[in-house]
Structure formats: structure tokens, C-alpha cells
Amino acid sequence: MERLKPPAAGREFVLTQADGTLVFSQQGDKDAEDLAAHVTQVYRIAAATLARAGLGALRRGIVQATTETTFFRSNDRLILALTFPQDVKIGFGLLETDKMWTNSLRELGVRA
């Protein structure tokens, strides 16, 4: 997992399987498990909502809170979440998330 170093501005990074199994995280064990559980839960509900709205499979997400912005990327098996301070430029966040996503897939030997 050498290539999975988040950008300097990134606060949190977590990679999980769609079933909630933690693949990689920067945080300590307990924090990482809690974060992975939340990310997986958001992914599941968002995917179900998009399907119900007839929009297809979930690919990306951006969640903005008062002091942080979290970017999601996902496919049928993996979910990546990368958190930045709230004032991050959306384009920068998307670009860094895409880089982390590509590196994660490469590390895991998964085709995009």
C-alpha cells in the first residue's frame, strides 16, 4: 500500500469493500472501523436512493459539512472516501480523489 499516501491537505482517507470490510485507512483501528462503517452505510443508502430515482449505479459523491468536505468514489466492490478541510476547491478534491482511486485499484490489482 505504498502508493496510498493521501495528499498533504487531506485529513482522512479510508478504503473499504462494499460489505464494510476495511481495506486501508490512515486512522487508528477503532476510528478507522467507525469511519468505514459510516462510509459504507452512506454508500448503501445513497446507492439505493439513486436506484429508486432511476439514476443508475453510484459512482461519486461529495458531502459538505461546516468544517470539512468529503469526496467519495465507488464501484460495485470498493468505496473510497477522502476528506479535506471545508474550503478545498471542488476541482482539486475531485482530482486528488481520482488519483487515490486509481492508485488504490492498482495496488489491489483491480481493473478500473
Partner 1 sequence: MSAEPVPPGQPVAGTAPLAAASRSSRAREFRRILAEMLRIDRVRGGLVVAADGLVITSSVPRNIAIEPLAALTATLGRELEAGGDRLKRSTFHTALFSADDGTLFLGACPVGFVVVLGDREVNVGLVQWALRKALATLEGTWGARDQVPATPEEM
Residues at the site binding partner 1, with contacts judged by CB under 8 A: 34-35, 38, 41-42, 45-46, 48-50, 52-68, 72, 86, 90
Return the DSSP state at 3.
T
> Between 91 and 109, whose beta carbon lies closer to partner 1?
91
Sign of the CA dihedral with 2 first, then 36, 60, and 8 last = negative
CB of 36 to partner 1, least distance (A): 11
CB of 79 to partner 1, least distance (A): 12
Cβ atoms of residues 74 and 43 within 8 Å = yes
Q: Whole-number minimum distance, CB 2 to partner 1, in Å?
A: 27
Task: Write down the least CB distance from residue 64 to partner 1, Å.
Answer: 5
Nearer to partner 1, 15 or 58 (CB): 58
- Our CA angle for 1, 98, 78, nearest 5°, is 60
Strand order in 68-74's β-sheet? Answer: 22-25, 12-17, 78-85, 68-74
Nearer Cβ to partner 1 (60/77): 60
